[in-house]
Chains A and B, each alone.
Chain A
Amino acid sequence: MTDDQKATEVSDRAIIEELVPVHPHGPAGDEDERRKESRGARTLYGDAWYRLSRNKLALGALAWLMLLILATLTADLWVPQNFGAPNHIDSSTIMATRLQGPSMTHPLGTDDLGRDMFARVIYGARISLTVGALAVLVSVLIGLLLGALSGFYAGWLDAVIMRIADVFLAFPYILFAILLLSVLPESSRTGIAPVVLTIGVLGWPSIARVFRSSILSVKENDYVDAGRALGASDGRLIVRHILPNAVAPILVYATMSIGGAILTEAALSFLGLGIIPDPVSAPNAVSWGRMISDGQSYLTSNPGIVLWPGLAILTTVLAFTLLGDGVRDALDVKLKD
């Protein structure tokens, strides 16, 4: 390695160390090996970032997701100006512009209502990514709470929570999602909340299991006993001493789960149980899954209507999986398949 490369690496690391939390309880053990491997980085997350940055697939996935997120966040600034508003439906121009193939003005063609497909895919990312991330957040919150209760207190509470988790895990949860969403009263179905909550609630058991087993492996450590001896409450022990060391598997699992949540939302949309847009605030905000579902009838004449949102889902879900794989390898987490 040349001096030049070394210099960039050192400065990179300086930036990283500012960004990532330095937490005091790095796992004991192969400290020497770790130090040798990362050439001086001192924190768990600094090491992890270093290893992640050498994984080209994971970096590519991260770059793709960043690009997508950036594009969606800034969409209002450049998409409508260049491609037309994704939700603008003007009856006089529909006939003129509908169902076009790719062209300079419409790089991905137009849909049955003359809307630009590229603009729709970019705006669709907003819904799909938001639903995916929020649903996983709900799963993580419920999973952390129940996993903590289960792992920390053990005993009958543990048994009950884990049996409930078994019940949830025994089934492909799309069926439970169908049931939940179809019994909800019509009045409470608008907006993204019902779909987010349904996917999120059904996803907690895996998170709870992962967190429970991390807690079991961490809670016997001396520093936890030391904390207890100093009079720390259970809540403080869990949040300040156990959580930081049990967080890596959750991070990995959550990253991978976002892709799954996006797929579930798409499937529910396809079955007619997806998000019902709020007629006031966002009447035309539709997810990628809904775009595919709506575009099916034009498959023969205009496959692009179905193709592009599907490719968007595929690349995004794949990116979350690859990133999750990379984070897992970087943090050296072992997850059961």
Chain B
Amino acid sequence: MGRYILRRFAQFIPVFFGVTLLLFFITTVLPGDPVALKAGEKQLPPAVYAALRHSYGLDKPWYIQYVNYLGALSPVHYTPKAGLQFTGPDLGESISTGRPVTQMFSETYPYTAELAFTAIGLEIIFGIGIGIIAAVKQYTIWDTLATLGSSILVALPVFWLGLMLQYLFGILMKEWTGGSFYLPISGSGGPGSPFDPWVYLVLPGITLASVSTAYAARIMRSQLLEVAGQDYVRTARAKGLRERSVLWGHEMKNALIPVVTFIGLDLGAMLSGAILTETVFNWPGVGLMIYQAIGRRDYPVVVGGVTLVLVVVLVVNLLVDISYAFLDPRIRLGANAEG
């Protein structure tokens, strides 16, 4: 198991450098000359221009700039005077509010995480549940409905689904019931709001979970059907086990592994993919922050926000990978060190 974890860390290193290098090029090299951008229309005297370039470190070769960029990303900073200090990554300040991007991020991220975990919960319940029903009742109307439904969910624009849910449950239902029952379609509640806080999570949670649930159900179904054809399942039936025991005791154990893999990696995707859902439902997470920054052309917030989200995804995916070491007996017992 130790070897497996070490190997995962070793694989993480090139991906980490690759991603940060890519981010570095997109955010600092591609936009052109930041000094000229800051100066705007004004023509700077050459001496001032050179001094500004020097103060930004732009006169250094690109690899030194890259190291500086990594330094800014690092949450821990070292100065000879103060020693090691945990100051958080330095990603500049918002143009419109002047506040550090890192601070804005840490205020909004808990909301994104709350939404992502809600969606993961829905995905686990409905994705696995629907997948099991479709597989157990293969070729019945339920199977067809599940397959068709998942194809449609995957082809939907997520934000459009959100808007339609808002219309159905927030607007139409309010009209039909004369205002006595409907779901909130905007924001996250707070003091004086008409609903409990969790009610605000319902529609955004469903929206964010939709596509992933469809995939999870598909994988669950196909895995169960694949496992059902294997010898050990036939043996279990042959020795007289009830169908229920065959399904839960034998088939599910193996069929679940790829589903758990998918859902685990999906957590990373959800922690980042919430941008559309949050925008539709005005949910005060990182996605909404990035969206509003796009509208205001608040460039440091867009770049800093996306960068931080990507770093979080990177770390979450690594943690998910490592947690297999504990979940998968083949790895835990070291029988398959290469796997």
Q: Contact residues of A with B, CB < 8 Å?
A: 163-164, 166-167, 170-172, 174-176, 178-180, 182-185, 259, 263, 266-267, 270-273, 289, 292, 296, 299-300, 303, 306-307, 310, 313-314, 317-318, 321-322, 337
Residue B163 CB within 8 A of the other chain: yes
Listed from nearest, the 10 A-B pairs whose CB atoms lie closest are A167-B18, A310-B160, A317-B155, A318-B155, A183-B31, A266-B157, A270-B159, A182-B302, A172-B269, A303-B167
- Please determine whether A267 and B314 come into contact, CB atoms closer than 8 angstroms: no
- Please determine whether A292 and B159 come into contact, CB atoms closer than 8 angstroms: yes
CA distance A170 to B302 in the complex (A): 20
A-B contact pairs, 10 of them (CB 8 A): A167-B15, A176-B22, A179-B23, A266-B159, A267-B158, A270-B159, A272-B294, A299-B171, A300-B167, A322-B151
Beyond the given A171-B19, A176-B26, A272-B295, please list 13 additional residue pairs across the A-B interface where CB-CB is below 8 A. Answer: A170-B15, A170-B314, A174-B276, A175-B275, A179-B23, A180-B30, A182-B299, A183-B299, A263-B157, A266-B157, A270-B157, A271-B294, A318-B155
CA distance A313 to B22 in the complex (A): 31
Closest to A159 in B: B14
- Please determine whether A167 and B19 come into contact, CB atoms closer than 8 angstroms: yes
Residue B257 CB within 8 A of the other chain: no
For residue B159, which residues in chain A have a CB less than 8 angstroms away from its CB? 266-267, 270, 292
Q: How far is the CB of A334 from chain B (nearest CB, A)?
A: 13
CA distance A162 to B109 in the complex (A): 32
Contact of B276 among A271, A300, A307 (CB under 8 A): A271
- Please determine whether B18 and A166 come into contact, CB atoms closer than 8 angstroms: yes
A310 in contact with B272 given A167-B22, A185-B32, A289-B157 (CB within 8 Å)? no
Q: How far is the CB of B176 from chain A (nearest CB, A)?
A: 14
CA distance A170 to B14 in the complex (A): 12
For residue A266, which residues in chain B have a CB less than 8 angstroms away from its CB? 157, 159-160
Q: How far is the CB of A296 from chain B (nearest CB, A)?
A: 6
For residue A321, which residues in chain B have a CB less than 8 angstroms away from its CB? 151, 154-155
Which residues of B283-339 are within 8 A (CB) of A?
290-291, 294-295, 299, 302-303, 306, 309-310, 313-314, 317
For residue B27, which residues in chain A have a CB less than 8 angstroms away from its CB? 179, 183
Which residues of B9-40 are within 8 A (CB) of A?
14-15, 18-19, 22-23, 26-27, 30-32
CA distance A259 to B154 in the complex (A): 10
Closest to B172 in A: A303
Contact of B310 among A164, A171, A273, A289 (CB under 8 A): A171
For residue A182, which residues in chain B have a CB less than 8 angstroms away from its CB? 294, 299, 302-303
Q: How far is the CB of A164 from chain B (nearest CB, A)?
A: 7
Residue B210 CB within 8 A of the other chain: no
- Please determine whether B317 and A272 come into contact, CB atoms closer than 8 angstroms: no
For residue B160, which residues in chain A have a CB less than 8 angstroms away from its CB? 266, 292, 306, 310, 313-314
- Please determine whether A183 and B30 come into contact, CB atoms closer than 8 angstroms: yes
For residue B309, which residues in chain A have a CB less than 8 angstroms away from its CB? 175
Closest to A300 in B: B171
Closest to A318 in B: B155
For residue A314, which residues in chain B have a CB less than 8 angstroms away from its CB? 152, 155-157, 160
Contact of B163 among A176, A271, A306 (CB under 8 A): A306
Residue B273 CB within 8 A of the other chain: yes
Closest to B154 in A: A321
For residue A296, which residues in chain B have a CB less than 8 angstroms away from its CB? 163
Residue B101 CB within 8 A of the other chain: no
For residue A303, which residues in chain B have a CB less than 8 angstroms away from its CB? 167
Q: How far is the CB of B231 from chain A (nearest CB, A)?
A: 23
- Please determine whether B306 and A175 come into contact, CB atoms closer than 8 angstroms: yes
- Please determine whether B18 and A164 come into contact, CB atoms closer than 8 angstroms: yes
Closest to B287 in A: A271
Closest to A315 in B: B155
Residue B279 CB within 8 A of the other chain: yes
Residue B188 CB within 8 A of the other chain: no
CA distance A171 to B167 in the complex (A): 31
For residue B255, which residues in chain A have a CB less than 8 angstroms away from its CB? none
CA distance A279 to B168 in the complex (A): 37
For residue A272, which residues in chain B have a CB less than 8 angstroms away from its CB? 291, 294-295
CA distance A285 to B276 in the complex (A): 23
Residue B219 CB within 8 A of the other chain: yes
For residue B23, which residues in chain A have a CB less than 8 angstroms away from its CB? 179
Of listed A185, A299, A321, A322, residue having the most chain B CB within 10 A: A299
Q: How far is the CB of A150 from chain B (nearest CB, A)?
A: 16
Residue B164 CB within 8 A of the other chain: yes
Residue B166 CB within 8 A of the other chain: yes
CA distance A322 to B151 in the complex (A): 9
- Please determine whether A179 and B14 come into contact, CB atoms closer than 8 angstroms: no
- Please determine whether A175 and B272 come into contact, CB atoms closer than 8 angstroms: yes
Q: How far is the CB of B158 from chain A (nearest CB, A)?
A: 7
- Please determine whether A313 and B157 come into contact, CB atoms closer than 8 angstroms: yes
For residue A176, which residues in chain B have a CB less than 8 angstroms away from its CB? 22, 26
Q: How far is the CB of A274 from chain B (nearest CB, A)?
A: 11
Of listed B27, B155, B156, B164, residue having the most chain A CB within 10 A: B155
For residue B14, which residues in chain A have a CB less than 8 angstroms away from its CB? 163
For residue A337, which residues in chain B have a CB less than 8 angstroms away from its CB? 218-219
CA distance A182 to B264 in the complex (A): 30
- Please determine whether A174 and B275 come into contact, CB atoms closer than 8 angstroms: yes
- Please determine whether A267 and B157 come into contact, CB atoms closer than 8 angstroms: yes
CA distance A321 to B156 in the complex (A): 12
- Please determine whether A270 and B276 come into contact, CB atoms closer than 8 angstroms: yes
CA distance A178 to B293 in the complex (A): 11
Which residues of B197-255 are within 8 A (CB) of A?
218-219
